[in-house]
Amino acid sequence: MLKTAMGLDLVHVPYKGQAPALADLLGGQVALMFGNWPEFRGHVQSGRLVALGMATARRSAHAPQVPTLAEQGVRLESNSWNGLLAPAATPDAIVQRMNAEVNRALAAPAVAEAFQQGGIASLSGTPAQFAEFLRAETARYAEVIRRAHITAES
């Protein structure tokens, strides 16, 4: 049993991915879950789920009606993201070309519209910016792990 900052007693139920957890949430086997907005969006819009809060620093442009957890007194920020990675030995010219092509694709009207419809924020950038983001994420979660005394056996 986990006592939260909000005074809730929660039991962690491990799942092998968001899809089976979401199925159990929709089926009433679990009472709540943390997950990714794009997968929840349609269920919230249809009224099948209620969004209790976003674990983002600011309200999402895709769901401005959903308050952040911080607004509700819970200091928690956890964002999902995707990125492209290549082997370290990949020549810089290839990395730069891949980056340019991905940024071009992200700027295409059809892709931008699909992301907007799916509630997905797109952040294009440079390989150096992504490397810095990865370093910051690694440091942030290392601190979470350290403070919570999480081990591989936890």
Residue-wise pLDDT for 79-119, tens only, equals: 888 899 999 999 999 999 999 999 999 999 999 999 888 87
- Whether 102 and 112 share a structural domain: yes
- Cα–Cα dist 118/109, whole Å: 14
Q: Is the pLDDT of residue 76 over 90?
A: no
pLDDT at 80: 83
pLDDT at 1 over 70: no
Using the predicted structure, report yes or no on whether residue 23 has a pLDDT greater than 70: yes
* Residue span of the structural domain in which 103 resides: 81-154
Question: Are residue 35 and residue 97 in the same domain, yes or no?
Answer: no
| Residue 72, amino acid | Q
pLDDT at position 132 over 60? yes
Q: Is the pLDDT at 148 greater than 60, yes or no?
A: yes
Is the model more confident about 93 or about 37?
Answer: 93
- Which DSSP string do the residues of 4-50 spell out, in sequence order? -TTS-EE-----SSHHHHHHHHHHTSSS-----HHHHHHHHHHTSS-
Q: Do 5 and 62 fall within a single domain?
A: yes
Residues 94 and 55 in one domain: no
Burial of 44 (0-12, 13-18, 19+ CB in 10 A): middle
Indicate whether 65 pLDDT > 90: yes
* Total domain count, the chain: 2
Same domain, 93 and 135: yes
45, 79, 113: which is the final residue of a domain? 79
pLDDT at 122: 86
Mean pLDDT score, 7-31: 91
pLDDT number for residue 108: 95
Q: Are residues 30 and 92 in the same domain?
A: no
70 and 100 both lie in a single domain: no
pLDDT, residue 4, reads 59
What band does 6 get if pLDDT is binned at 50, 70 and 90? Answer: low
